[in-house]
Amino acid sequence: MPEDATTDSENESLNLDPEDWQLAFEPYEEEPEAALSLAFLLTELKQLISGLNIHEALDEIDVAIDCLYEHSDFRSISREMFEKVIEGKITSHKKRCCVN
């Protein structure tokens, strides 16, 4: 079988570096809503596995979320707000208005 550089290369580490995540997330470059949705899902996954004490997996999810932030509309606003939104910490407060 012919060798394929994309599938046959040996990776010394199982960890992905940020450049790997950037390549994986290139399709999100023009899809900020999809990037935000995936960040929501990764945050939920992170919360589910955080109790399992799997630090390497949690670190990789953090790198993935950092890369997704770069493709979101939040990159022009605030990284802190991005984190609050994907972690479900932003709530909308509706003012009550009385009409006489």
Query: In order along the chain (100 residues), what is the average pLDDT of each group of 10 residues?
Result: 50 72 89 91 84 80 88 82 86 48
| Distance (Å) of CA 14 to CA 17, 27, 28 | 10, 23, 23
Q: Are 21 and 2 in contact (CB under 8 A)?
A: no
The tokens of 36 are what? 């935000």
* pLDDT at position 99: 43
Specify the pLDDT at position 34.
92
Residue 44 pLDDT: 86
Tokens of 32: 């900020």
- Phi, psi of 78, deg, nearest 5: -170, 130
Q: Name residue, tokens 């995936």.
A: 38
